[in-house]
Structure 1
Amino acid sequence: MKGHIRERSPGKWAIVLDVGEPDPKTGKKKRKWHSFTGTKRQAQSECARLIAEITSGGYVEPTKQTVAEFLAEWLKFIKPTVTPKTHERYTEICEKNLGPLIGDVALAKLKTDRIDAAFAKALTEGRRRAGGGLAPRTVHHMRRVLIKALNQAVTWDRLAKNPATATTPPKIERVKMLAYDADQTATLIEAFRPNRMFIPMLLAVMCGLRRGEILALRWRHVDLSDGRRMLSVRDSAEQTKDGVRYKEPKSGRARTVALSSMMLTELKAHRTRQAEEQLKLGVRPDDDSFVVAQVDGRPLKPVSLTHEWTRLLAKTSLPRIRFHDLRHTHASQMLAAGVHPKVASERLGHSTIGITLDLYSHVMPGMQADAAEQVDAALQAAISASRKTK
């Protein structure tokens, strides 16, 4: 394998690589040309590197395809393999975040330092409308998507290696988890009792269901008999640009959630009220009807539930939290009450107990103090009994 460099203009070089045997008919050598900008020594080093790649089999044919063109191709390729919501998010990141920063760069010339510079710029001035930088978590998502896309470029032999894997991820500070205490929860329940957000709020704060799980729950998934009183989480509603779709829960598997006496009573009353409303409109409810629905029985959109929650909460004196934080409220109150983390994990639908322990570690110090006191009391009782025996 041979190669040499030619100076085209000051600082501009052509790297010429001889590959394969000469054409038997014409006698011309097969060559590959690369453009390079830098000093003569740097051009010689790049020539040596390319020769080594060809010799080792790691050489990738250069392409004029830009990063933006490749990302568009990649988005089409992965569309059948991801959920519509995920594809929407990937598209948004590629077109609105990555595209303006590195979209015009030739894919073959994309380097780690260029990506790091793009991420640094996104953190300081990445917001297109309001100005300022993007949140570190958003840039972290950008990095994750770019790594995934460029891994495919490596698989397709468009790149020899993925330059995004060596980039420095932004530091993400954990957002403080918000939750109501028992008194605030009691205030919330009484404040929401007169409106239609009462049942979805209860399902979140007393059962730990996610927003999508609440809106996908049907009466056939709820057993209100006194002997069983439980519900099954089998589906989750997901909002996309094309409408609402129903998919499996976030953990990927169904779960069963036991109902408290209060939850059982409220669900029975809710089903009676809902049936009366729908019958007045000429709608005959059945087991396939949604537990949380519009007056005429049609399903609610996740975004509509969020808007209604925000509107009604603003009318109370309670701290402003997200609807999802009601789930955190349920989890925190379970653990603070001494419920075993494994039970809490199963009730919340976490894939592993480690997720539960990590998310709610702020509740653990109090639990550890209680555990220490319980062990101490047991030992003191044993010591006292031993002394009396002697």
Structure 2
Amino acid sequence: MKGHIRERSPGKWAIVLDVGEPDPKTGKKKRKWHSFTGTKRQAQAECARLIAEITTGRYVEPTKQTVGEFLTEWLAFVKPTVSPKTHERYMEICEKNLGPLIGDVILSKLKTDRIDAAFTKALTEGRRAAGKPYAPRTVHHMRRVLIKALSQAVTWERISRNPAAATTPPKVERTKMLAYDAEQTAELIAEFRETRMFIPTMLAVMCGLRRGEIAALRWDDVELGHTRRQLAVRQSAEQTKDGVRYKTPKSGKARTVALSATMAAELKAHRVRQSEEQLRIGLRPDGDSFVVAQVDGSPLQPRSLTHEWSRLLEKTNLPRIRFHDLRHTHATQMLSAGVHPKVASERLGHSTVGITLDLYSHVMPGMQADAAEQVDAALQAAISASREPK
């Protein structure tokens, strides 16, 4: 395999590669031409790299397809294999974030330094009219999606390697987790008791349910007997542009959440009120009815819970937190009360206990101090007992 470079103009080079045997009829050599911009030494290095790729079978024929065109093709390819919500997020990142930054770059010419420069621009300048920089977390998501998309480009042999895999990820600071303490939780319950957000709030703060799980909960999932008080989380409502769809919970499997006597009593009272309300308009609720519903029995959209939560919270003196932070409140209070992390993990629906320990590590120092004191007390008692005359 041979190759050489030719200077076309200052800083502009043609890389000529001899491939295969000469044509037996004409004697002409089969050649591949590549354009290159840079110094002579850089052009020579690029020529050597291309020769090595051809020799090892990793050479990919360059095309004129742009990154933007490829991302459009990739979005259509992955649509059947991901959830509608995930596809919406991929599309938003590709069209609104990645497209304006690198969409016009020829795919075969996309290099790691070009991507790093685009991410730096996003972090420092942004692309919006106001010039507001993107948050590091947004750029982190952009990088993950680009790596995934370009991995498919490698599989399809559009490029020989994934240039996004070697990019430098932005430093993402963990969002401070907010939660109410016991006194604030009691105040919250009192403030919301006479509103339609009372039961959704109780399910979040007393059971740790996610917003989508609350919106998907049906009465068939709830047991309020004397011997067994529990609910089963079997579905989660996902908000998409096309409406609400019901899917398996985030962990991918159903879970059972035990109910306290207080929570069971509130659900019993809620069911009576809801039945009376629906019977007045001619509806006969059954086990398939939603626990949290509109007056006419139709399910609530997940975003409606968020909007109503924010609206009602503004009327109180409580700190402003997200509805999802009520789940954090439940987790924090469980761990602070000494509940084993494994039990808390199962109750919250985490796929592993490691997720629970990582998310709520801020609660652990106090628990470790209590554990140290308990071990010390037991040891001191044993030492004292050994010193007593027998």
Q: For the superposition of Structure 1 and Structure 2, which TM-score range results when normalised by the shorter chain? A: over 0.9
Q: Provide the TM-score with structure 2 as the length reference.
A: 0.98
Q: Does the residue aligned with 2:100 lie in a helix, a strand or coil? A: helix
Is 2:104 aligned against 1:71?
no
Match of 1:347 in 2: 347
Match of 2:200 in 1: 200
Q: Deviations over 1:228-269 (max 9, x none)?
A: 100000110000000000111011111000000000000000
Q: Does the residue aligned with 1:36 lie in a helix, a strand or coil? A: strand
Is 2:312 aligned against 1:306?
no
Is 2:12 aligned against 1:22?
no
Match of 1:11 in 2: 11
Match of 2:267 in 1: 267
CA contact (8 A) 2:22 2:28 kept: yes
Q: Does the residue aligned with 1:147 lie in a helix, a strand or coil? A: helix
> Matched residues in 2 for 1:263 and 1:389: separation?
53
> Matched residues in 1 for 2:59 and 2:34: separation?
13
Q: Deviations over 1:334-387 (max 9, x none)?
A: 000000011000000011111111111111111111111111222222223323
> Matched residues in 1 for 2:54 and 2:80: separation?
35
Match of 1:116 in 2: 116
> Matched residues in 1 for 2:314 and 2:159: separation?
52
> Matched residues in 1 for 2:350 and 2:127: separation?
33
CA contact (8 A) 2:239 2:303 kept: yes
Q: How much does 1:127 deviate?
A: 5.0
Q: Which runs of 5+ in 2 are unaligned?
A: none
CA contact (8 A) 2:100 2:127 kept: no
Match of 1:257 in 2: 257
User: Counterpart of 1:191 in structure 2: which amino acid?
Assistant: E
> Matched residues in 2 for 1:118 and 1:261: separation?
56
> Matched residues in 1 for 2:7 and 2:257: separation?
73
Is 2:175 aligned against 1:175?
yes
Is 2:372 aligned against 1:386?
no
CA contact (8 A) 2:36 2:43 kept: yes
Aligned ranges for residues 135-146 of structure 1 at < 5 Å? 135-146=135-146
CA contact (8 A) 2:15 2:33 kept: yes
User: Counterpart of 2:212 in structure 1: which amino acid?
Assistant: G
Q: Does the residue aligned with 1:154 lie in a helix, a strand or coil? A: helix
> Matched residues in 1 for 2:274 and 2:131: separation?
47
User: Counterpart of 2:36 in structure 1: which amino acid?
Assistant: F
Q: Deviations over 1:125-161 (max 9, x none)?
A: 2151543211100000000000000000111111111
Is 2:99 aligned against 1:99?
yes
Q: Deviations over 1:299-352 (max 9, x none)?
A: 111111100000000000000000000000000000000000110000000111
Identity %: 83
Q: 1:258 to 1:130 in 2, by over 3 A?
A: farther
Q: Does the residue aligned with 2:32 lie in a helix, a strand or coil? A: strand
Match of 1:217 in 2: 217
Structure 1 range deviating more: 217-226 or 370-379: 370-379
Q: How much does 1:389 deviate?
A: 4.8
Match of 1:44 in 2: 44
Q: How much does 1:72 deviate?
A: 0.4
CA contact (8 A) 2:123 2:133 kept: yes
Structure 1 range deviating more: 2-11 or 313-322: 2-11
Q: How much does 1:16 deviate?
A: 1.4
User: Counterpart of 1:215 in structure 2: which amino acid?
Assistant: A
User: Counterpart of 1:318 in structure 2: which amino acid?
Assistant: L
User: Counterpart of 2:64 in structure 1: which amino acid?
Assistant: K
Match of 1:148 in 2: 148
User: Counterpart of 2:203 in structure 1: which amino acid?
Assistant: L
Aligned ranges for residues 313-328 of structure 1 at < 5 Å? 313-328=313-328
Q: How much does 1:11 deviate?
A: 1.9
Q: 1:14 to 1:72 in 2, by over 3 A?
A: same
> Matched residues in 1 for 2:284 and 2:148: separation?
48
Structure 1 range deviating more: 73-82 or 129-138: 129-138
Structure 1 range deviating more: 191-200 or 380-389: 380-389
Number of matched pairs: 390
CA contact (8 A) 2:209 2:348 kept: yes
Match of 2:369 in 1: 369
Match of 1:229 in 2: 229
User: Counterpart of 2:18 in structure 1: which amino acid?
Assistant: D
Q: Which runs of 5+ in 1 are unaligned?
A: none
Q: Deviations over 1:57-82 (max 9, x none)?
A: 11111111000000000000000000
CA contact (8 A) 2:16 2:34 kept: yes
Q: Provide the TM-score with structure 1 as the length reference.
A: 0.98
Q: Does the residue aligned with 1:283 lie in a helix, a strand or coil? A: coil
User: Counterpart of 1:24 in structure 2: which amino acid?
Assistant: P
Q: 1:44 to 1:131 in 2, by over 3 A?
A: closer
> Matched residues in 1 for 2:317 and 2:281: separation?
36
Q: Does the residue aligned with 2:388 lie in a helix, a strand or coil? A: helix
Q: Deviations over 1:33-76 (max 9, x none)?
A: 10111223322222222111101111111111000000000000
User: Counterpart of 2:121 in structure 1: which amino acid?
Assistant: K
